[in-house]
Amino acid sequence: MGHELFIAPSILSADFTRLAEAVALVEDAGADLIHVDVMDGHFVPNLTIGPPVVRALKRVARRPLDVHLMVSDPDSTAQWYVDAGADIVTVHVEASADLRHTLQAIGAAGVTPGVTLNPDTPVSTIREVLPIVGLVLVMSVNPGFGGQSFIESSVAKVAEIASMCEEAGASPRIEVDGGIDALTAPRVVSAGADTLVAGNAIFGAADPAAALREIRARAEAHLV
């Protein structure tokens, strides 16, 4: 959609005793965003990071914090992450009772609002908010854990969302999250994605910096 390719390493797969070093390592390797997975143990069966850790990350990160809220009540808690220093706050359509209002409140605070949907959620659910988001996050695994396998139907879903954006005259970033590696990255980018989250493929690699660069190199050639 005319955007340059962004790589957003997910620190969920980093060593939690050394988060500052993990952030510095991927930033030095060219990361564009730092993807932060917030899980509340209720919307998903895992519990990870909350506002104090986002605030700590903000002190060391040189790149924007891309905060993905996998929580049951984003309408009342998104503001916590705005206040903690998030640069992008992404909310699940399945979890929000008042999606438009929550996204507008995030935007009004000067933070980029993002909307995301689970693999089984139809794309029609996000149509009406496309004009007010800066980013659409396509989940290519069921959220909750890093290191899962890419769900194949996500490629078609990215294409569907890209054409829906075009119809709506909107140009949010289209980000894909889950099972992204050097093989799946070019496929979703060919379908219209311009922002790639990768956790295990980067932090699980023997050389995370080289892994990041390889994903970028393979995907960049397919950017539409």
Task: Kindly list the catalytic residues.
Answer: 37, 177
* 175 binding Zn ion? (CB under 5 A): no
Backbone dihedral region for residue 109 (phi beyond 0: left; psi -120 to 50: alpha; all else: beta): alpha
The nearer residue to Zn ion, 68 or 173, going by C-beta atoms, is: 68
Q: Are 204 and 13 in contact (CB under 8 A)?
A: yes
Sites of contact with ligand DX5 (CB under 6 A):
10, 12-13, 35, 37, 68, 141, 143-148, 177-180, 197-201
Exactly one of 5, 8, 23, 68 binds Zn ion (CB under 5 A); that residue is: 68
Min dist. Cβ of residue 168 to ligand DX5 (A): 25
Min dist. Cβ of residue 137 to Zn ion (A): 7
Min dist. Cβ of residue 97 to ligand DX5 (A): 21
Residue 116: strand pairing partners: 92, 137
Assigned token pair, 67: 């905060």
Assigned token pair, 123: 């794309």
Q: Reduced to 3 DSSP states, what percent helix, strand and coil does the chain have, rounded to the nearest 5?
A: 45, 20, 40
C-alpha dihedral sign at 114, 115, 118, 124: negative
Q: Are 182 and 172 in contact (CB under 8 A)?
A: no
The nearer residue to ligand DX5, 34 or 128, going by C-beta atoms, is: 34
Question: Which residue sits closest to ligand DX5, CB atoms considered?
Answer: 199
Piece of the chain touching Zn ion by CB under 5 A; list 1-9, 52-60, 61-69, 72-80: 61-69
Residues in the chain: 224
Min dist. Cβ of residue 35 to Zn ion (A): 6
In the complex, the residues that contact Zn ion under the rule CB under 5 A are 37, 68, 177
